[in-house]
Amino acid sequence: MSQFATRAVHAGLEPDPSYGSVIPAIHQTSTYAQRAPGEFVEDFDYARSANPTRAALERALGELEGGLGSAFASGMAASHALLTAATDSGAHVVLPGDLYGGTYRLVDKVLSRFGLEYDLVDQTDLDAVAAAMRPETRLIWVETPTNPLLNVVDIAEIVNRKGDALVVVDNTFATPVVQRPLELGADAVVHSTTKYLGGHSDTVGGAVIVRDPDLHEQVRFVQNAVGAVPGPFDCFLVHRGLRTLHLRVAAHTENARGVSDFLRDQPGVTDVRWPGFGGMVSFRHPDATRIAARTKLFTLAESLGGVESLIEVPQAMTHQSVEGSAAAVPSDLVRLSCGIEAPEDLVEDLRNALA
């Protein structure tokens, strides 16, 4: 198999058979002409079910994670599809002790109404994971690094303790450049492609990649039955993003290294966290809100993973939905998504905001 950089550039792409265009067309269509009733090209009968631009992205996602890919309208739609495909009423899932607030909200406020049970478990404590397993545990949901505390979970060790359950990894923060969970024995990967995979803060999307063809069929069934599919232009944007993913992640990593080194020496700053890869950094400061409002290059905004740097206070922004729960985050926590600008400019911006 070729190196990741080569796969990132070429994944899912074949020159268009009609005109030879190197980049396939954006198939902006809702339906396809049939030769006779029920006679159509491959599985292209209706665009909720299948679209060639989406199919190219799905092939690419599969190639990069090492499985079978399905694309969704958002990361949450992808998580919802996997959870509903793999569980039913009365099933139990193990969630991480800190995680993206929207994932918690989906399970706690929506799926629990249909009988899904869950426990929040600190997955850096492997004994706690083993102790949380029940006969009806269908799935262990892993997020690593976690959002926003950037805890790193050992996927292979979780797999060793999974029993009959599936291990699902939200790989949004790490990306397949750094971490390919299916190669470590996990059963499924989900992404918010809104973040690093798209990489330019110009689209919202999600993905599920699984190893087992039967599970893939179940995810596909939900994709079509629920219909939370991405439009062709959004698929095109994510697919274009994939082609520079390895270069961007390298630049994000260097900038996050520089920013976290700087922050560690600053008065008032505590608990600087950077997992050693990727662009996400968090730290605590009593003036978190003021700092987040003062940066100029780091835009105060939710989301992450784009080429431009963003800053936020999770407790007041992305993680409102975990307030009051066991997954609540400290109010003095600042989360940075370091972009790919010049590192000295990012450090200068933070220096001014901290002054």
Residue 147: strand, helix, or coil: coil
Cis peptide before 145 (omega within 30 of 0): yes
Q: Does 170 bind ligand PLP (CB under 6 A)?
A: yes
Candidate list 172, 203, 255, 315; residue touching ligand PLP; CB under 6 A: 172
Candidate list 69, 102, 199, 314; residue touching ligand PLP; CB under 6 A: 102
From the candidates 45, 48, 105, 332, give the one annotated as an active-site residue. 48
223/176 Cα distance (integer angstroms): 23
Place of tokens 């993003």: 241
Region from 12-20, 48-56, 69-77, 217-225 binding ligand PLP, contact rule CB under 6 A: 69-77
204 vs 340 by CB, closer to ligand PLP = 204
Contacts of 178 (CB under 8 A, 6+ apart): 249, 277, 278
105/128 Cα distance (integer angstroms): 22
Task: Give the x/- contact pattern for ligand PLP in 193-232, rule: CB under 6 A.
Answer: -x---------x-x--------------------------
User: Which tokens sit at 98?
Assistant: 């800190």
Residue 214 annotated in active site: no
CA angle 153, 155, 159 (to 5 degrees): 135
For 49, counting Cβ atoms within 10 Å of its Cβ (0-12 exposed, 13-18 middle, 19+ buried), the class is middle
Q: Helix H segments across 227-265?
A: 232-242, 245-264
Which amino acid, residue 281?
Answer: V
CB of 134 to ligand PLP, least distance (A): 25
Region from 29-37, 74-82, 149-157, 332-340 binding ligand PLP, contact rule CB under 6 A: 74-82
Cβ(354)–Cβ(266) under 8 Å?
Answer: yes
CB of 91 to ligand PLP, least distance (A): 21
133 vs 208 by CB, closer to ligand PLP = 208
Residues 134-153 that bind ligand PLP (CB under 6 A): 143, 147
Active site residues: 48, 100, 170, 195
Q: In the complex, which residues of this chain contact ligand PLP (CB under 6 A)?
A: 74-76, 100, 102-103, 143, 147, 170, 172-173, 192, 194, 204, 206
